[in-house]
Structure 1
Amino acid sequence: MVKKNIYDASASALGYIYQVRYALLLALQKLRNVDDPDNCFISIEILDDIAFEENGTPTELLQAKYHGNAGNLTDRSSDLWKTIRIWSEMMTDPLQTFESATFSLITTESSAPETIASLLSEDKTRRDAGKAVIAMQKIAAETENKTNAAGYSAFNSLELWQQKKLVNSIYIICNSPTIMDVDSKIKKELILSVSDNHVDAFSSRLEGIWFKRAIEVMSSPSENGIGLGEIRSAIDDLRTQFLPSNLPSDYDEVEPEYIDIDNDNRIFVEQLRLLGVNDRVIKNAIINYYRAFEQRSRWSRDGLVKPGELKTYMKILQDEWDNRSSLLEMKCDLSDENQKLDMGKDLYAICQTDGAKPIRPEFKSEYVARGTYHDLSDNRKIGWHPDYDTLLQSSNDKGVA
């Protein structure tokens, strides 16, 4: 087994994942208490690791420090003084106002009694900001610790009233939940939005939406945060997808990494070639086949479909194909090759449009039906050309020869 390098980048990656995941937890908790979600925004890596703004004014700034191994947040901890440096510099920034903001350091580490972390805890029985200021002034006067020098300098540069104001606004939250515990807490926040047996699937989809939006905002020069109203809308939308009459749609915009039409010898592709359709039609078929396969698989993994539901659905589509095919055959002269080609094209077009029956009444994404037809075609349970069985066998015989 390969031994991990202590400087492995995975630790840093976990820190970022923790930060974004913790931000979602805080946003969900905030949603319960905020008066107007549309006027409250959460940002990541803009004002601070995590920050809340209401009506354009910063109200909460948070630093999140994740450590995989147990430890203590000591008075000379680099996590503490890096954070103090950032917040001290904010206090002197003429372009920002933090009059009513609170500053929170959230860490998975513990704190000992009478340490700065303990004196600035949320617990009123232990909290003593006055003592904390004195302790911080004393430590910041030290010169031996080069690692914390910038933090000491920034704190010392503040006027006494600024130091007191800052420290009075600081809350240090130790023993914060681990990255997996945060996941559990997020699910608890969502328990009223979905049935108990589907909360895992619901949470993973919300987190997917959240991570995508967080990356978009952090990458955008014009966006500064995510409105809590947007999160509320995402939850409401997901809630409708998890109703008994619906299912979540996860693959509307997903495509296979690689499409090679010329060398694709799958049977459902060969069935389309029998009709002489163009590459655009084949490409769409490949995409829908992929999306439908992935979607059915995810529904099954997440336990969102009832036992036998997918099998029943495939039978419904097969019956739909059989009915449409029989009606078209009435108008077709099966001795005429051109008419048989036209019939096959018409049958395919109908099954991909009007015949794309949803798996549940409220499910609107047609790629599942379209792609599932191709799954049936790939297993030769249905076909488009009236002579598809014979033609496929002939093609296979030629390939073997």
Structure 2
Amino acid sequence: MKTQSMGQASHNAAQSAVGYQHQTWWALLELLRSGRARPGQAITLELHDDVAWERDGSPSQLLQLKHHQGTARSLTDAATDVWRTLKVWMDTGAPGNSAGPEFLLVTTQIAADSTAMAALRPQTRDEFAALRGLESVAENSNSEQTRVARQQFLALDPVARRVFVSRIQVLDGSEHIEDVPGQVRVELQWALPTGHEDLFLAKVWRWWDEQALAMLQGRLRSVDVGAAQASINEIRDQFTNDTLPTLVELADVDGESVALQYRTHPFVQQMEWVAYPPRNLQKAIVDYYRAYTHTVRWVEEELVGPAELERFEAELIDEWEREFEWMLDELDVDADESAKQEAGKRLLRQLLAQTGITVRSRYHEPFFARGQRHMLADAGTIGWHADFETRIQALLKVAG
């Protein structure tokens, strides 16, 4: 029995991983490239085939993807890839049904001249020559790897065989995995926001990765053309003058790690002075982290300017000043520590729930205003406890 070395197994696993990644990435390119001509249709992954187009739940086109990294070999009619693909389609695609879905073999290899594969290209199509070439290989090849598929092909009656071949197209010389992102960029040229092209594309890729994972896990059946166009337009709209892109999603943040990192910061101390509940305190730290990270990245990407952020901070401070004075006015002169804690906790909870002040008129992510308030509290500009100013001074002296 022939055994496989660890190195061979690792190489094969790497090739498989690249193949699956290529399939996922190429599906986005296919969606962008062909979607405009397919209104009302949807694209799927690993449902009907590697990639497929469907209408009303039924496949209209099945695509088998073959990725060969670093090889110059031509695609021949006897290739294992060819007969594996034909077998998949004969097993699942009702080969003799002339009304069935189209079959597309998408391969990075180049079909050799005078082969059935070359005759099945859209631009050099000759179905009769293709049928003769496949029948010749099916009858004369001695390959054990393709024997079952060849026998299955020959077992089709002549009419079914002819219909089957008529439904096949070969798209050879397809993009390698490293070329796909560049082609996606070309297809999205119309949507690229000037000066923020890479960030926009990163968000599109993130959106697509989420869709692809959901399809592969069976949580999402397909992505239809209209929904894809709407999602891409929504991402594009985040780069207009009245909104901003969200760059760090809540799911991206390890709450426990972030809480550990910021546990000694002044804004955390401020919340502890008013006995803020532990779980909400941890969520507040995540808000701070996301708001701070967004502020830095937005400025780096020149999506927002210092003056705009200063205006936003000034509005938050003005709002806090009004509410803080009301809190002090309602406290008794001889209020004890417990009363001050309760008043401060109410103030903090009240302001964190306020969503009326936004950095941009259409940017309504609540974490940013909440986090920005914590950033101001971290600087000692605002606070929650009635005596926060003297306590902050003491804290800064200790820290100094």
Please report the TM-score for the alignment, with normalisation by the length of structure 1.
0.84
1:365 aligns with 2:365: yes
Q: How is 1:311-330 mapped onto 2 (pairs within 5 angstroms)? A: 313-314=312-313, 316-318=315-317, 320-322=319-321, 324-326=323-325, 328-329=327-328
- Within 5 A, what are the aligned runs for 1:1-400? 7=11, 9-34=13-38, 36-37=39-40, 40-71=41-72, 72-92=74-94, 99-123=99-123, 126-220=124-218, 224-251=221-248, 253-254=250-251, 256-259=253-256, 264-300=263-299, 302-306=301-305, 309-310=308-309, 313-314=312-313, 316-318=315-317, 320-322=319-321, 324-326=323-325, 328-329=327-328, 332=331, 336-338=335-337, 340-354=340-354, 357-392=357-392, 394=394
Deviation at 1:6, TM superposition (A): 6.4
Does the residue aligned with 2:207 lie in a helix, a strand or coil? helix
Unmatched 5+ residue regions in structure 1? none
The answer to which of 21-30 and 148-157 deviates more is 148-157
Change (3 A) 1:48 1:5: closer
State the 1:132 CA deviation.
Answer: 1.6
The 10-residue stretch of structure 1 (330-339 or 353-362) with the greater mean CA deviation from structure 2: 330-339
What CA deviation, in whole Å up to 9, does each residue of 1:214-257 have, x standing for no partner? Answer: 22233227x53222222133123323323210112354542632
Give 1:62 deviation, angstroms: 0.7
DSSP-derived class of the 1:220 partner: coil
Q: SS at 1:192's partner residue?
A: helix
Partner residue, 2:4: none
1:93–1:161 distance in 2 versus 1, CA, 3 Å: closer
Equivalent position amino acid for 2:357 in 1 = K
Question: Structure 1 residue 48: deviation in Å?
Answer: 0.8
Normalised TM-score (structure 2)? 0.84
Identity of aligned residues (%): 27
Q: Distance in 1 between matches of 2:52 and 2:79?
A: 23
Q: Is the CA contact 2:80–2:146 (under 8 Å) kept in the aligned structure 1?
A: yes
Render the CA deviation track for 1:29-58: whole Å, top value 9, x for unaligned: 333123x43xx1211111111111123442
Q: 1:166 to 1:303 in 2, by over 3 A?
A: farther
Separation of aligned partners in 1, 2:354 and 2:334? 28
**3-state SS of 2:191 partner:** coil
How much has 1:273 moved relative to structure 2? Answer: 0.4
After superposition, the C-alpha distances for 1:171-207 in whole angstroms (9 at most, x for unaligned) are: 1112212224322222233333343433433332233
DSSP-derived class of the 1:187 partner: helix
- CA distance in structure 1 between the aligned counterparts of 2:114 and 2:294, rounded to whole angstroms: 55
1:65 partner letter? K
Q: Give me the whole-angstrom Cα distance separating, in 2, the residues matched to 1:355 and 1:258.
A: 23
Query: Displacement of 1:337 after TM fit?
Result: 4.2
Counterpart of 2:77 in 1: which secondary structure? coil
Classify the secondary structure of the residue corresponding to 2:11.
coil
Greater helix share, structure number: 2
Q: What is the rounded CA distance, in whole Å, between the counterparts of 1:174 and 1:8 in structure 2? A: 23
Instruction: Return the letter of the residue paired with 2:43.
Output: I
Other structure's SS at 1:254 match: helix
Letter in 2 for 1:286: I
**Is the 2:274–2:340 Cα contact (8 Å) retained in structure 1?**
no
User: Does the 8 Å CA contact 1:356/1:366 hold for their aligned counterparts?
Assistant: no
SS at match of 2:152: helix
Q: 1:273 to 1:109 in 2, by over 3 A?
A: same
Using a 3 Å threshold, how does the CA distance of structure 1 residues 99 and 14 change in structure 2: closer, same or farther? Answer: same
Q: Secondary structure at the match of 1:141?
A: helix
CA contact (8 A) 2:238 2:245 kept: yes
Q: CA RMSD in A?
A: 3.3
How far is the alpha carbon of 1:145 from its aligned partner? 1.4
Deviation at residue 82 of structure 1 after TM alignment:
1.3
Cα pair distance change 1:170/1:299, threshold 3 Å = farther
Secondary structure (helix, strand or coil) at the match of 1:7 reads helix
Length, aligned pairs only: 390
**Matches of 1:162 and 1:334, distance apart in 2:** 95
C-alpha spacing 1:18/1:268, structure 2 compared with 1 (3 Å): same
Q: Secondary structure at the match of 2:196?
A: helix
In 2, the alpha carbon distance for the partners of 1:4 and 1:86 equals 26
Bigger mean CA offset, 276-285 vs 362-371: 276-285
2:110 partner SS:
coil
Q: Please tell me whether the aligned partners of residues 60 and 103 of structure 1 are also in contact (alpha carbons under 8 angstroms).
A: yes
In structure 2, distance between residues paired with 1:314 and 1:153: 74
Q: State which drifts further: 230-239 or 191-200.
A: 191-200
Structure 1 residues 307 and 394: alpha-carbon distance in aligned structure 2, compared to 1, 3 A threshold: closer
